[in-house]
Structure formats: C-alpha cells, structure tokens
Amino acid sequence: MSNRIDNTFETLRNDGQAAFVAYVCAGDPDYSRSLEVIRAIADAGADVIELGVPFSDPQADGIVNQLAAERALKAGMSVPRLMDMIREFRSTHDTALVLFTYLNPVYAYGYEKFHTDAAAAGADGILLLDLPPDEVANNQELTSSEGLKHITLISPSTPPERIKMLAEQSEGFIYALSRMGVTGAQAAPSAHIGELVQSIKQHTDTPVCIGFGINTPEQSATTASVSDGVVVGSAIVNQVAENSDASTLPAIIGEFIQPLIHATKNPEQA
C-alpha cells in the first residue's frame, strides 16, 4: 500500500531528482516553535521530514541531537504531544513525515497503539534505531505495526549478506549511513558511500538516502549525485539550538536549508 513516502519518491524519480530529507527533534526548543520550524522546513521545499522522538538515552546520537532531546523533554514534550504535533502539522501541510526514534518510547506507549495512533495522526513512516528487523520476527507483539512504513538502516560495516536481507525487506526508503559513529556534522561523509549505495541497489528498487555528516551544499550535491536522497539533521538541529531565542527562528531555519535543498536538486550547479 503506497503512502506519502512512496508517492514522493515516485515523483522525484520521474523528475530525475534526489530527495531532501530534513531531521529535527520534535518539541525543540518547545512545542509551538518546533511546530513552526517543521512547517518552515516544509515550506522551504523539503521532501521528507524526520521527526526525532525525544528520549532520555539517545545512544546513537551525537551531542547536538542529545541536547535537542534534552531541551524538548524539559519543555514538556511527550509521545501524546507528538501525536498532537503531527495532527496540527497535517492541518496545513502534506509533506511526508518519518518518526525517528528508539524502541523504548514506542514500547512504553504501546507498540501497536503507537503505530495506529501515529498513522491516524498523519505520520507515514518510522525508523526504530535500536530494533534489528530480524528481532521483530522473534517477538509476536512487535509484528503489529500496520500504518507506518518501517525505514531500514544500513551502515558501511553491514555485511553483504545482511545488506541483501535488509534491502529485500525494505519499505519507504533505506537510510544508508555515510560513515560509522553517531549522528553529527563534525565528520564528513565517506568518499566511498557510492559503493555502499550500489551494493544495496543490487537487491532492491527501494530508494536509498544517505545521512550522517552532511552540512554543506557541496556535500549535499556530492551525496545527491550517488543516491536517491540526502538526509541533513545535526546541522539543522544546531541552527535551532543557536537561534532558539530568536523570534525569527522558523525563517532562519528555512533560509539555512534552502541552499542545501538547491544543491540536492541541482548537484551539477554546486
């Protein structure tokens, strides 16, 4: 069953363009300004928005995203408020939404209930960072996950046979890590990321997007030229942190990502 993610990538593929995927932490710096920021990101032309679900122990995240989660939690963000935010965003925008999270908040809310409520609110996909897909088959309660596309994560260290397995069961899009480590813009993408993309594409037609360490138009263009999409997260989150007190925060974020989007869409011009 297709949804906004599938429709977005089909349109981009027909136009010969890569997707721009923007990550922000839901509720950072607070609920109302976070909602304004994601609307500004959509207005700027992002194809997919990844909403981080604040969690107290985000072990796969670097310091920038850890602090964003901390700010959001201190401001009162919760999974029920996340559902409210998705509904409010859907009242004005149709941009595809993917929830970027760990299993703990989902499991605590109720695994099946989370999927049902998030899909009903208007979310399209979910990336569970610490739930290996093959573990789902061993836990009956984790198989009730209709309504959201489960995004697959593949890293440069993933063995070939596991790449094949993950690629063949992928849906929505595949998030390929540009390098090892945690999230953050402090290290540039690997020069060999194109090789990982090609190894994945041997086994699937699912779009492959690259993230981790992308924070300049030049990096966006290079990444777009070898993939189906570019994911920018920590660089945007850092802008939120640096300008959290500014009344023009949404405009600042929109202006920051526009050159990144332009480079993604027009890599030959960067």
* pLDDT tens sequence across 189-202: 556 788 899 999 99
pLDDT for the residue 191 = 63
Sequence spans of domains, the chain:
4-269
Q: Is 84 marked active-site?
A: no
Q: Is the pLDDT of residue 104 over 60?
A: yes
Burial 65-85 (b: 16+ CB within 10 A, else e): bbbbbebbbebebbbebbbeb
Separation CA 21–CA 31 (nearest Å): 21
Catalytic residue, chosen from 61, 117, 124, 228, is 61
Q: What Å distances lie between residue 162 and 126, 169, 202, 264, CA to CA?
A: 20, 11, 13, 29
4-269 CATH, one of 3.10.20.30, 1.10.1740.10, 3.20.20.70, 3.30.460.80:
3.20.20.70
Q: Find the mean pLDDT for residues 149-163.
A: 93
pLDDT for the residue 176 = 95
Catalytic residue, chosen from 47, 50, 117, 228, is 50
Separation CA 190–CA 187 (nearest Å): 9
Q: Is 15 marked active-site?
A: no
* pLDDT tens sequence across 161-189: 999 999 999 999 999 998 654 454 445 55
pLDDT band of 47, cuts 50, 70, 90: very high
pLDDT band of 139, cuts 50, 70, 90: low
Give the global pTM.
0.93
| Torsion angle in degrees (nearest 10) through CA of 254, 220, 12, 233 | -50
Separation CA 171–CA 48 (nearest Å): 15
